[in-house]
Chain A
Amino acid sequence: AQSVTQLDSHVSVSEGTPVLLRCNYSSSYSPSLFWYVQHPNKGLQLLLKYTSAATLVKGINGFEAEFKKSETSFHLTKPSAHMSDAAEYFCVVSDGWFGNEKLTFGTGTRLTIIP
């Protein structure tokens, strides 16, 4: 069985300061991991994904995440927050393979940017 825990339901940072959104996962197999972003009244958009290649994954809008197997973590970071980053962020895990792919979503972290 797979699961994902987002450790913070709400994070507030000042514009221009670093962002850290924490995620821990549990998976029976080598997982694929994703971060999705959901802006208000908009659909989910993929930020980045890890699929057993490089452990440091770079995504869109300056975000990146590092897969740490020993810590079962996949934290999302950004060096400098922008007002447009305010949104809900979901950490997602899949240990599926061809023919059995299902995603398990975390409960989300709401990111607020303080001007």
Chain B
Amino acid sequence: AQSVTQPDIHITVSEGASLELRCNYSYGATPYLFWYVQSPGQGLQLLLKYFSGDTLVQGIKGFEAEFKRSQSSFNLRKPSVHWSDAAEYFCAVGVNYGGSQGNLIFGKGTKLSVKP
């Protein structure tokens, strides 16, 4: 069965420090991978996506993620965190029903706190 694991429930980093949020997936075919961010009381905003091709993908707000098939991972990184990055981050895999659109399967999320 498809699944997404985010091992870290809560991470605290200092402003200006680098960030890496971990994501592991289980999916039988070529995965379509996403990172979303959710601020309190808000919906989810797409940070970046991986469909195919270059395994290092760039997103909005200075985020990037690297797809590693051998490790079934899609970790999110940012070289220098800003206080406004404090939010909850969700990794998701898109289900592909034989070429047709399918739903997203989300991890449980990682809450990021930023220390001044």
A, B co-complexed: no
By a beta-carbon cutoff of 8 Å, the part of chain A in contact with chain B is none
By a beta-carbon cutoff of 8 Å, the part of chain B in contact with chain A is none
